[in-house]
Amino acid sequence: MPDETGRHRAQHCAIVGGGPGGMVLAYLLARAGVRVTLLESRPDFRRDFRGDSLHPYTLELMQRLGLAERLLRIEHARATTFRFHTTSGTVTTAEYGGLRGPFPYVALMPQARFLDFLAAEAAALPGFRLLLGAKVTGVVDDGDRITGVRYRDDDGEHRLDVDLVVGADGRFSRMRRLLDLPARSLGASSDILWFRLPRRPHDPPTADADLYFGPGHYVSTLGQEDGWQVGYTVPKGGYPAAKRAGVGPIRDFLAARVPWLADRVDQLAGFDQITLLSVEISRVERWHRPGALLIGDAAHVISPVGGNGILMAIQDAVTAANVLIPALRQDDPPGEDVLAEVRRLREPAVEQVQRQQVRTEYRVAAVLAGDGDFRPNPLLRAALRLRSVRRRAARANAYGPFPPALDTTLLDPNPDPAGGPTRRSR
């Protein structure tokens, strides 16, 4: 109901999952004056081998919010090219350095630091509350709509009644299961074994994204502040066989295909140093039920190839903020038409990215199933000799298809009830 000033009281939203999508949406809603409770099941944001890439779109979003300068004070690396290394030579597939914009690179920053930064910024907003170690165990359903969640923490069981629940809890989403919104697999042919190796003074000086192909496998390397994050790709479901074989074949492949790592492969001593990432590409048919919405990997699991998962989740958050903020300023909870609008706006981009990733998986399957090497199509190789083509590829990855623009006029927590929201500078 309107308060004594004639303004509507902002409603209360619970966001389940403190990854990039959930955290960005929580920040945007809280900055717009919406009351937000963000529930994260873990006691902190630190995880091994979560995506670390902040694309130019994300950095420009942070700039529009007045956060980029402080964010980029956090130690990070900058990737400016994407390359394939094959037995027939090296192919540069994308160059970010030629992008027009303030951030012609992908910032590689440990995800925990990005999330800690945003959480600290959100904590300064009066409507924001973060609950760490809060494991959602159920939803509150009044028969017509979802009206809250149940969660457990160190103090016991709790119930949180809200006007809207947003599930942003990732690829293994509990909210997806609780809301009975099953995901349909679109196909994946590989899994990734992640591990870290130390950095040496003579290593390549850049943090660029590189893929090294060889018979039956390929390796990705991502530079970090204190070392290298290495991903060794195996056929889908191939982890048990790889574990039985031990780390010897992995070390041999690295020594042969990534020779500058050969002097430290012995530091990969056992599978206790390896984390399995099961590659998935899937999507739910509906992103919502009355009173509840899914975004990010909870709604559509993105393959790690290209580092698009964080970008797509953050773009979901921007679209959701544009749609939800006006609705959460009304007397009634957001209706199904409002929730369906988020999916309508975002699904074309998600479908396009996932179609490309499925095509990539088919090509990866051919490499993993055979004893040959990955060989780019001769026409593609010729096209990629053109800098303009490499820059177009970088732009496509930097912004994704149909990138949403944040309506910053919505971020005034005290909109004019007669004339709509007023602009707010920060």
Residues present in the chain in total: 426
Q: What does the alpha-carbon distance between residue 218 and residue 25 come to, in Å, rounded to a whole number?
A: 35
CA nearest neighbour of 42 among 123, 118, 136, 165: 136
The answer to the question of residue 96 being in a domain is: no
- Same domain? For 217 and 288 the reply is no
Same domain, 264 and 195: yes
Whether residues 57 and 167 fall in one domain? yes
Residue 163 has what pLDDT? 97
Percentage helix, strand, coil for the chain under 3-state DSSP, each rounded to 5: 35, 25, 35
User: Is 196 within a domain?
Assistant: yes
**Within this chain, do residues 147 and 70 fall inside the same structural domain, yes or no?**
yes
Q: 0.85 exceeded by the pTM?
A: yes
Whether residue 309 contacts residue 20, with contact meaning beta carbons closer than 8 Å, is answered with no
Shared-domain flag, residues 216 and 139 = no
Which tens digits make up the pLDDT trace of 291-305? Answer: 999 999 999 999 877
Do 268 and 165 share a structural domain? no
Are residues 201 and 179 part of one domain?
no
Same domain, 357 and 222: no
Mean pLDDT of 234-247: 93
Q: What percent of the chain has pLDDT over 70?
A: 89
Q: 53-90: per-residue pLDDT in tens?
A: 899 999 999 999 999 999 999 988 888 888 888 877 88
Q: Which DSSP category does 404 fall into?
A: P
Angle CA(370)–CA(373)–CA(379) in degrees, nearest 5? 120
Residue 121, domain member (yes or no): yes
pLDDT at position 219 over 80 = yes
Q: Is residue 89 part of a domain?
A: no
Question: 34 with 61, same domain?
Answer: yes
Asked if residue 372 is part of any domain, the answer here is no
pLDDT attached to residue 49: 54
Residue 379 structure tokens = 């026409």
Query: What is the rounded CA–CA span in Å between residue 354 and residue 285?
Result: 14
How confident is the model over 193-203, as pLDDT tens digits?
Answer: 999 999 888 88
Q: Tell me, what's the pLDDT at 401?
A: 95
342 and 297 both lie in a single domain: yes
Amino acid letter at 79? A
pLDDT of residue 6: 41
pLDDT over threshold 90, residue 417: no
Residue 423, pLDDT > 50, answer no
The domain of 266 spans 190-235+237-278
Q: How far apart are CA 106 and CA 114, in angstroms?
A: 14
